[in-house]
Amino acid sequence: MCPHGPNDDCECRKPKPTMILDAAKDFSLDLSNIYMIGDHRSDVVAGKNAGAKAILVRTARNGQDEGPEADFVARNLTEAVDHIIAA
């Protein structure tokens, strides 16, 4: 996890993709076959910035944290997983 605050301008805080890219390198993952699932726009943008597919799950605390970047918007994690399985 990123231990920094939003004003620290670090390289690991979402929506920067650094942590996703590092994980892909560590585990030899093909980012074009990876789904980033998150409940905040910063999760979705980080996934897209890394070259992954991104699913927004509408369970964010305010229920409104949505951006146009998501490849799919799911009501919950089950719907997100169903989408991936059907792909």
Footprint of Zn ion (CB under 5 A) = 2, 4, 10, 12-13
Which CB atom, from 36 or from 46, has the smaller least distance to Zn ion?
A: 46
Which CB atom, from 41 or from 53, has the smaller least distance to Zn ion?
A: 41
Give min distance, CB of 4 to Zn ion, in A.
3
Count of Cβ atoms closer than 10 Å to residue 86 Cβ: 6
Q: CA 22 to CA 87: how far, in whole Å? A: 26
Give min distance, CB of 71 to Zn ion, in A.
25
Which CB atom, from 12 or from 24, has the smaller least distance to Zn ion?
A: 12
Give min distance, CB of 12 to Zn ion, in A.
3
Q: CA 4 to CA 67: how far, in whole Å? A: 23
Q: What are 72's two structure tokens?
A: 């799919």
Kind of pairing between the strands at 72-74 and 35-38: unpaired
